[in-house]
Structure 1
């Protein structure tokens, strides 16, 4: 690798570091509202805006800070080109449903564009062509198959044997007039508009359950209640399952992003390869100067190699292909994938009319999250939405859902058993700063992290969701669960659900 390149010591999202976000109080008292929204990302904030604009009283809470979750760690592509998906959706759902998925995501793009123009939001919104490119003959054939699906579904797309980026490729499939932006500049403005219309926001307020009396009530960790007519779970992972068995129907994956400056000028466009490991490329502006974002290296949360190796792989790719003059940011993201890859948006269970869910965006949350807000807002406002059916959480497609169900849950069982049988007896005395070990303290499996000041932080590594054992994530300094994707800080605080309680602290004698 190039010598003297500064490598960011701590993971930090450029989006969050480049903007000053408003702060909101913790919910101190029980309240009544029309709509209670849990989750301060693109779905929750957009829904708050749409509903408050129609005169409904909206209360939104977030377990941490607004826009600190998946939305704050995205690549922020606004596109209906979600990898090689349309041929697969046509085969599994039929052409009409696959076409509606495309239309829904294009409508989401149009809504974002409309709000940017309407509210004059300065968020670096720019139209770009999107490309999937193949570097092997096998995936060249897959692109040709995908192009046939485009043609059958009426999706505008073009096959080409070269791309502006200058990489050596076999072919690429272009979807024109897609877009990219700074997601937090956009959502900061949308939240402000929602507030103008009466929406109320609270941070550091964790939802743990929904109670039913005459109306549903969101119950917070410290016992406060938000009594409402409707509940929208926009919390990444549903905190309330309602016996919808969501942990058995989704899996969590992590991806990594590095932001670099290179001597090459970015030629425009947004790119993702068809092969694995994934490589997603786009540009962004930092202080008026161009930087390149390289993303990819997907893997199931809590599983696989040392996470720093994923950052290293992206850096190496960027250096080999384009050169690096400065390595300015690195961060990671997590998202959920459903068994059939179609997001779950709608009533949490069949027949439910008050509690809704939006999850499983498969890393394409800018458009799927926006259309989720539109679908759920229409449901609450008693308006017809043409896309509600295709995203219904109650759907069941026998192919491929049964095979994926068995495979996903066999993997969960394997990691649950493996974690319980794993022998851990590492010596704390051998621990060095900014490293962690798993060991046993008073017979209990514990994770111990030593910070830069040589302070020790010990937690019980047993995940509070369903009892799997978490593993150390060296790249992000977190304890990650390999079963359902819960993540905790090194002090045990919840960073990602489905867990909603922190890991137990362990005293070191």
Structure 2
């Protein structure tokens, strides 16, 4: 039976860390307990900066625990594009940063003896379209020029023919949750503090550049704050308007024979990304794809999962699909993450917009941030400048995206509910319906209990869309996500949705109708006798 959960959380639970229960004064407060946050905490603590990590849920519970878990410098056909848009210097800085990110992961695993199934393997970016071979040839030339070992191949070491493929050797894949639990333990051993179940609700930088971090259970004052929350919370830096949220779907399957040992990524659409899953031995495979913007109203999220399963069964001899899940990340309009000081701030640092390549980029980001907080220069930082405006194409893309956001914002108040009645919301389903004369977000859980929310995002008021595959309310404007009761799953929102009681609303509306009836002109069933 397929479990809807990330394969990386299979097995025993990791150690827990207490919620914050007091005020603190530290050098560095890291908001977010994923790869960027935990790596930053470890490096900052080792650099002599007293550090604390504040995680709203459990460590690695966000995108870091739902990743494909490839640690690679091969990010599709990226280097030719970067050189064209930013020049060879920036393309080289991007390549060097991601190479260093890979080396950092390897170094931490080897130095700490982390058992995370770290494995070297070739990685392929392939096309099935003969007309695109020239693009792959250009990518090989660009990657080689910026110092990467890239070759053109006629195979992706998968059970289908390709028109061409770009091959990178000595890339990595690993078990991300095991890795991050070990990084957290190393950070604590070095003297850092970690607090789970501690949601940050506000970050404020004073005139003296001391930053006050307000949480659900205490206040932290820090010389530096690192926003390692996928997207900075609230309005910080305006990154909600400078990135776009993307979701993609994953599965882990057991094959009847050995799985390919190489990693592969299609550059055609829909994207298909594969890597070995070492859990069941040589027969395991992870497949990820079908990316789309978070909260896109025209996307059937359950169909995306079914389509990925069907493709996997068509291509491979599948014995069983054991896990399915989805993940979220943010893309920038110019294809380079934002890393550094947030605009308008001196002591608030950000790392966002990894474009689904957060393991190598995120590891490099941690190094850049710790260098900056320690007063050291970093050779890659100029390309990742968090305050940059971007090239002309990036600016045009940002304007276009925000015109779309404006439509979604209006839709937050004018969205059209479904025609279903409350009684027609079956167990395990949800959606936007009209209840008692008002639009309401409703979900009926498998036990038959109803959950209702005001279906507008608490960040900036955009309309929300029901994600059936993930049982969540998703915002297409800036990527915030909420559970059926309105609790925040993913920012930039920091506040829960307003709750609504569907049954109470129906009863109140029924009572109002009853009070308006004229008893002399209606029969016992409420029909007019006139």
Between 410-419 and 334-343, report the one with greater CA deviation.
410-419
Aligned-pair CA distance for 1:181: 0.4
What is the aligned counterpart of 1:237 among 231, 238, 241? 231
Unaligned runs of 5+ in 1: 1-5
Query: CA–CA distance in 2 between the matches of 1:138 and 1:413?
Result: 37
SS where residue 283 of structure 2 aligns?
A: strand
Partner of 1:137: 130
Deviations 1:417-458 (A, max 9, x none): 334333215300111110112123354321111111101111
Residue 446 (structure 1) aligned with residue 440 (structure 2): yes
Partner of 2:371: 378
Partner of 2:257: 264
Q: State how many pairs are aligned.
A: 500
Conservation of the 8 A alpha-carbon contact between 2:259 and 2:282: no
Partner of 2:77: 84
Report runs of 4+ in structure 1 exceeding 6 Å deviation: none
Between 133-142 and 335-344, report the one with greater CA deviation.
133-142
TM-score norm. by structure 1 comes to 0.95
Aligned-pair CA distance for 1:389: 1.1
Between 67-76 and 132-141, report the one with greater CA deviation.
132-141
SS where residue 273 of structure 2 aligns?
A: strand
What is the aligned counterpart of 1:507 among 501, 510, 514? 501
Query: CA–CA distance in 1 between the matches of 2:49 and 2:476?
Result: 40
What is the aligned counterpart of 1:469 among 446, 463, 477? 463
Partner of 1:199: 192
Between 323-332 and 281-290, report the one with greater CA deviation.
281-290
Matches of residues 154-165 of structure 1 in structure 2 within 5 Å?
Answer: 154-165=147-158
Aligned-pair CA distance for 1:353: 2.6
Partner of 1:17: 10
Residue 128 (structure 1) aligned with residue 121 (structure 2): yes
Aligned-pair CA distance for 1:240: 5.0
Residue 341 (structure 1) aligned with residue 326 (structure 2): no
Aligned-pair CA distance for 1:236: 0.9
Deviations 1:213-237 (A, max 9, x none): 3343343343731101111110111
Deviations 1:288-322 (A, max 9, x none): 46311110101000003210111111111111111
Query: CA–CA distance in 1 between the matches of 2:412 and 2:12?
Result: 40
Aligned-pair CA distance for 1:211: 2.3
Root-mean-square deviation (Å): 1.5
Aligned-pair CA distance for 1:397: 2.4
Matches of residues 54-453 of structure 1 in structure 2 within 5 Å?
Answer: 54-213=47-206, 214-222=208-216, 224-239=218-233, 241-242=235-236, 244-288=237-281, 290-303=283-296, 304-349=298-343, 352-424=345-417, 425-453=419-447
Aligned-pair CA distance for 1:83: 0.8
Partner of 1:3: none
Deviations 1:3-56 (A, max 9, x none): xxx443xx2011122342111122112111111000000011001111111232
Query: CA–CA distance in 2 between the matches of 1:441 and 1:416?
Result: 22
Unaligned runs of 5+ in 2: 505-530
Query: CA–CA distance in 1 between the matches of 2:146 and 2:392?
Result: 21
TM-score norm. by structure 2 comes to 0.92
Conservation of the 8 A alpha-carbon contact between 2:467 and 2:473: yes
SS where residue 499 of structure 2 aligns?
A: coil
Structure with larger Rg: 2
Given the superposition, is the C-alpha separation of residues 470 and 87 from structure 1 closer, same or farther in structure 2, using an over 3 Å criterion? same
Query: CA–CA distance in 1 between the matches of 2:397 and 2:51?
Result: 37
Aligned-pair CA distance for 1:162: 1.7
Conservation of the 8 A alpha-carbon contact between 1:335 and 1:363: yes
Deviations 1:319-358 (A, max 9, x none): 11112111100010000001111100000116x3311001
Conservation of the 8 A alpha-carbon contact between 1:41 and 1:69: yes
